[in-house]
Amino acid sequence: MVRCKTAAGAVLLSLATCSIAVPVEDVVSVPTTTFTSEPASTAPVRPHTNVTYHGPYTGPPPTTTGALTTDVLAPSIPALPPGPNAYDYPSDGKLHAPLPAPYTPAGGDGTNGSAPVYRMLSDFDYESLALVLYQEWIELDLFHWGLATFSVADFEAAGLTAEDRYLIQFMAEQEVGHVTLVSNMLGAQAPMQCSYNYPVANVREFIDFCQKLTRFGEAGVYGFLNHLNAHDVGQLLLQSITTEARQQMIFRQFEGLFPMPEWFIVGIPQSWAWSLLSPYISSCPENQTRLVWQNFPSLNILNQPNPARTNGADVWNETTGGYTNTLSTADISAEDDCLNSNEVGVGCGPAITRNRSVPLSYPGRQVFLEWEAPGQPIGPNNSYVTSTTAAAPVFAAWVSQLNVTYTPLQGIEGNKAWTAQPNMSTFEGDPAVNGTMFLVLTDLDLYVTPFNLTMLNPHVRAVALYQAG
Ligand SMILES: *[C@@H]1O[C@H](CO)[C@@H](O)[C@H](O)[C@H]1NC(C)=O
Ligand SMILES: *[C@@H]1O[C@H](CO)[C@@H](O)[C@H](O)[C@H]1NC(C)=O
Ligand SMILES: *[C@@H]1O[C@H](CO)[C@@H](O)[C@H](O)[C@H]1NC(C)=O
Ligand SMILES: *[C@@H]1O[C@H](CO)[C@@H](O)[C@H](O)[C@H]1NC(C)=O
Ligand SMILES: *[C@@H]1O[C@H](CO)[C@@H](O)[C@H](O)[C@H]1NC(C)=O
Ligand SMILES: *[C@@H]1O[C@H](CO)[C@@H](O)[C@H](O)[C@H]1NC(C)=O
Ligand SMILES: *[C@@H]1O[C@H](CO)[C@@H](O)[C@H](O)[C@H]1NC(C)=O
Ligand SMILES: *[C@@H]1O[C@H](CO)[C@@H](O)[C@H](O)[C@H]1NC(C)=O
Ligand SMILES: *[C@@H]1O[C@H](CO)[C@@H](O)[C@H](O)[C@H]1NC(C)=O
Ligand SMILES: *[C@@H]1O[C@H](CO)[C@@H](O)[C@H](O)[C@H]1NC(C)=O
């Protein structure tokens, strides 16, 4: 090796001779050495295959039916006042205990030096993470399935380019990571990959289904994350679900929706997430680990707003079915299709953001509802059964951002009724009912807040996802 001086006086190291020394500005941008290192050992991913069958379950009747259960101690959890220490901390900006170490305020969970082990600590933890794994598996298949099912021309007709398709493929790869992480934490009986049945006939229906499915996946985790006993498990799950949150927003952008029309993202109970997810699982392998969660009956939103329409609120019976109530494009004429417009406020092609001058919904909108009877077989191998402990429904609960607001059901006839979209805000300037949110029917207007929403379950008659904006 030779030491050379450039014209500017800088000393260079060169493998050749001084004659190849170049002016210093060029040297800065032309590396002469490539550093290589041995790759660090990499953790393997959980084995997975491309699911070969998609469609409804056609196999024999299941040998096991119903949710996993054991002795049940009471029909519901009694409501109690706040815990004894709930008001003790003065919250005055001062320190109230010695520091355990420099710059380390007293308190916190998992801060005493015990090594984290990332294992479940309770049935609550196991069942919640097992539910997440069912969700991660379906996402892994769904994103691949969409890419494999629709042609390049189909995607391009929906405004999605090769770069957009690569992003969807990358999202599927992220799911491989999430599946592996959650499986490793659950252990040997972690739920396996299943086969699925998607209510999707074209690219726009696929994108809408992905947008809605990732929302209940995301919201399903926010509902239980801070209730986990194992906070170390919660940490890793948090770092996966924040990725899912970005996927949800990207699918909204692919759909030409305003990416995040809310100030807070809603959380929902596990049984709502399972009710919304399981209808799309057609069968799971022998010995599959079953779940404890309830399957509520389906709620059909007969005038579910349709984001593919220029006036998405002016719509009748344009979903592919109850529960998730995803959009159907079957009956949209070219002139009512917002994809055919380039006008700002009307066009709904994929974009970072879109203004919709005609909002998908609005306070006071009449929303027409139809709900199913309990007792229907559903989910993997039709081996779960829908159930409810609620009496005849009299309220619609709008579950959005930080709020649960009830509106009375009107014109109830059998299993049909209508209700009016409420006008409420989280804080001044933030109408609470917006985005991809949840609508459930109840027999009681129970007061619940984000950390005790699950207390509503004994009163839930049917569940749906509502496309407010
Ligand atoms: C699954 O299919 C995708 C293309 O749709 C392909 O890129 C991937 O390699 C396949 N994965 C497996 C495990 O076969
Ligand atoms: C430290 O906290 C953990 C819970 O995070 C607890 O299990 C353990 O007993 C605590 N250890 C000590 C020495 O207090
Ligand atoms: C579900 O059905 C499939 C296809 O009939 C079968 O192979 C599988 O063992 C069943 N799964 C369970 C958990 O019974
Ligand atoms: C299912 O479990 C039974 C009993 O443990 C076992 O004999 C059988 O091999 C398992 N089947 C599969 C596909 O793992
Ligand atoms: C909605 O449309 C489906 C067919 O797509 C039909 O079976 C059903 O009766 C319709 N429901 C209402 C309330 O119009
Ligand atoms: C988008 O909508 C906002 C809120 O209604 C409005 O202030 C803004 O002018 C609109 N921008 C365009 C380009 O339409
Ligand atoms: C939802 O938010 C968007 C974007 O701010 C707004 O244009 C729309 O009117 C809102 N919809 C409702 C129902 O408030
Ligand atoms: C909703 O409430 C706001 C005040 O918070 C009011 O300005 C607005 O007119 C109300 N809209 C409807 C449709 O009632
Ligand atoms: C919505 O939630 C916010 C924040 O918790 C609360 O201040 C507000 O009163 C709630 N509004 C309704 C109508 O429940
Ligand atoms: C839920 O929590 C709120 C306080 O945030 C409390 O007022 C309400 O009674 C609780 N609901 C139930 C059913 O426990």
Q: State pLDDT tens for residues 335-350.
A: 999 999 999 999 999 9
Could you tell me which residues come within 8 angstroms of residue 358 by beta carbon, excluding any fewer than 6 positions away? 310, 311, 312, 313, 346
pLDDT tens per residue, range 295-324: 999 999 999 999 999 999 999 999 999 999
Number of domains into which the chain is organized: 1
Assign 30 a pLDDT band (cuts: 50, 70, 90).
low
CB 163 within 8 A of CB 353: no
Tokens representing 162 are 């090769």
Cα R_g (the chain), whole angstroms = 26
pLDDT tens per residue, range 103-159: 999 999 999 999 999 999 999 999 999 999 999 999 999 999 999 999 999 999 999
CB 295 within 8 A of CB 384: yes
Task: For residues 279-284, give the mean pLDDT.
Answer: 98
Residue 37 resides in a domain? no
Please report which ligand is nearest the Cα atom of 199: 5
User: Which atom of ligand 9 is least distant from the CA of 404?
Assistant: 14
Assign 163 a pLDDT band (cuts: 50, 70, 90).
very high
Q: Kindly give the distance from the C-alpha atom of residue 425 to the centroid of ligand 8, in angstroms, as a whole number.
A: 10
Note if the pTM is more than 0.85.
yes
Residue 426 resides in a domain? yes
pLDDT tens per residue, range 387-398: 999 999 999 999
Degrees to nearest 5, angle at CA 9 with 8 and 12: 105
Q: Kindly give the distance from the C-alpha atom of residue 290 to the centroid of ligand 3, in angstroms, as a whole number.
A: 12
Nearest CA to ligand 6 atom 4: 355
Assign 28 a pLDDT band (cuts: 50, 70, 90).
low
Please report which ligand is nearest the Cα atom of 370: 5
Residue 409 resides in a domain? yes
Burial of 75 (0-12, 13-18, 19+ CB in 10 A): exposed
With the most atoms of ligand 2 within 8 angstroms of its CB, the residue from 109, 111, 114 to mutate is: 114
List, in sequence order, every residue forming a beta bridge with 170; answer none if it has no partner. none
Question: What is the span of the domain harbouring residue 174?
Answer: 123-467
Tokens representing 2 are 């030779």
| 114 Cβ closer than 6 Å to some ligand 2 atom | yes
Nearest CA to ligand 8 atom 3: 423
Task: For residues 19-31, give the mean pLDDT.
Answer: 49
User: Which atom of ligand 6 is least distant from the CA of 344?
Assistant: 14
Residue 24 resides in a domain? no
Residue 415 has pLDDT above 70, yes or no: yes
φ, ψ for residue 404 (rounded to 5)?
Answer: -125, 120
User: Which atom of ligand 9 is least distant from the CA of 422?
Assistant: 13
Residue 93 has pLDDT above 60, yes or no: yes
Task: For residues 419-423, give the mean pLDDT.
Answer: 98
User: What's the CA gap between 401 and 434, in Å, rounded?
Assistant: 8
Residue 361 has pLDDT above 50, yes or no: yes
Mean pLDDT check: name the lowest of 36-40, 189-193, 235-239, 270-274.
Answer: 36-40
CATH number, domain containing residue 298: 1.20.1260.10
User: Which atom of ligand 4 is least distant from the CA of 286?
Assistant: 13
Nearest CA to ligand 3 atom 4: 59
| pLDDT score for 40 | 79
User: What's the CA gap between 218 and 106, in Å, rounded?
Assistant: 32
Q: Enumerate residues lining ligand 5, CB below 6 A.
A: 302, 317
| pLDDT score for 50 | 86
| pLDDT score for 32 | 58
Residue 69 resides in a domain? no
| pLDDT score for 38 | 76
| pLDDT score for 1 | 37
User: What's the CA gap between 130 and 7, in Å, rounded?
Assistant: 66
User: What's the CA gap between 214 and 45, in Å, rounded?
Assistant: 22
Residue 80 resides in a domain? no
Closest CA to 289 of 192, 174, 401: 192
Query: What does pLDDT average to over the chain?
Result: 93
Share of the chain above pLDDT 70, in %: 93
Residue 376 has pLDDT above 80, yes or no: yes
| pLDDT score for 12 | 38
CB 349 within 8 A of CB 256: yes
Assign 52 a pLDDT band (cuts: 50, 70, 90).
confident
Residue 331 has pLDDT above 60, yes or no: yes
| 91 Cβ closer than 6 Å to some ligand 4 atom | no
User: What's the CA gap between 11 and 17, in Å, rounded?
Assistant: 13
| 381 Cβ closer than 6 Å to some ligand 3 atom | yes
Residue 16 has pLDDT above 90, yes or no: no
Residue 6 resides in a domain? no
Task: For residues 60-85, give the mean pLDDT.
Answer: 96
Assign 37 a pLDDT band (cuts: 50, 70, 90).
confident
User: Which atom of ligand 8 is least distant from the CA of 425?
Assistant: 5
Residue 453 has pLDDT above 70, yes or no: yes
Residue 36 resides in a domain? no
